[in-house]
Structure 1
């Protein structure tokens, strides 16, 4: 795992030499990420011919409505099924990052919307508890979650993340991206699941800079709903006695 338990302590000049060597790797990764993003944008598109129905604060909505007048739509498939009292802890961790990003995305031709399979009324209390403002709608009664690979059956014939799925969960996380042409035609351009969702987790980018790294035994095993951390009601997190 990480080597922070036994760090090598060196002189400043030795550290600078090692840091410059690491910088070469960092720059290479940045260029690789740019190439990966370019390849992602170059994926072929699929026309969305199915009619999907959602429920939002003003009632029934279409997939086109989720764009809110913009040409690009990012849907986060939030794990919250019928009968649940609260959302998935991991999805909630990701969702804690949405409102800050959405302040900017909404002004750059992108709509960010969370979609869950539970009826709309069932997650309103949880959304209020979490203090979130981003759009969050229900796909209850629609085939949307199944069509985009996040609601799966337990019959052994399902796929998740483009591979056969044999897990016990029937609700799973993911993101899907859509484009709406000027004539109203909608295309599915990209979907990602599992570790592919790390790109949405800003907190992980901070942790990856730290000596202990992510410091977890299993993915997100330390994460809690943000109101359940010890001292969560204390707003003075640092720099105060």
Structure 2
């Protein structure tokens, strides 16, 4: 049994659903057999993602925030409460662009560039804020350089938000982190934060959450070469490679 949108359904075995009638030009019987076996695993993966999402939604109330953090925003000071706007849910992303960095983390930047394009849709449902410890002037300057139109950036250089919710040592490097907060009445609570990283990584794999939020890796995972082991996104590429 599985619960989808609050309703219980008896699911057909993935193997039965995976008997695809599709055929691509020139495919062999060996290819079709292997592809259907893979399809069954893809169906099971989708179902597992749904189960994990349901477990996440069913979490008990998280801890109340110790304070209403105050940030430097693009239009002046802003509290975490103000970041919610008209929504009752706020997603934050800790961008690795602290005061010791000359340029931001390329991986974070690749992810945020993808999310900027999705932001008009995301903001229909929840609020979203990008937080970094670097000075707000540098964050805004890079946002303009990158052409981000919808992401809202805030500097946490004057508060303990990164230490409290990104497990970050201010004297060390930056940590990326997703967090979700809720607001009910005047009470702010932490709902969920990613806790996967180097300590949970499997051998030979980069540390990452599940599901992986980066469209870049999702696309490369569809290809024969996969993610590879010697390539990462950059902030800039030669014009001939674009």
TM score, norm. by length of structure 2: 0.78
Partners of 1:88 and 1:210 lie apart in 2 by 25
1:184-216: CA deviation from partner (whole Å, max 9, x where unpaired): 311101111531176220111111100111112
Matched with 1:162 is: none
| Corresponding position of 1:126 | 142
2:174 equivalent to 1:171: yes
1:61, CA displacement in angstroms? Answer: 0.6
User: In the alignment, which of 189, 192, 204 is matched to residue 191 of structure 2?
Assistant: 189
Unaligned 5+ runs, structure 1: 1-9, 155-168
State the partner residue of 1:146: 163
Residue of structure 1 equivalent to 2:28: 12
| Shift in alpha-carbon separation, 1:92–1:197, aligned structure 2, 3 A | farther
Deviating 4+ runs (over 3 angstroms): none
The higher relative CO (CA closer than 8 Å, separation ≥ 6) is in 1
Which position in structure 2 is the counterpart of 1:50? 67
Partner of 2:212: 199
Q: 1:30 aligns with which of 46, 53, 56?
A: 46
Instruction: Identify the residue that residue 17 of structure 2 maps to in structure 1.
Output: none
Distance 2:210 2:101 in 1: 22
User: For this pair of structures, how many residues does the alignment match?
Assistant: 204
What's the C-alpha RMSD, in Å, of the aligned pairs? 2.0
Q: TM-score, normalised by structure 1?
A: 0.78
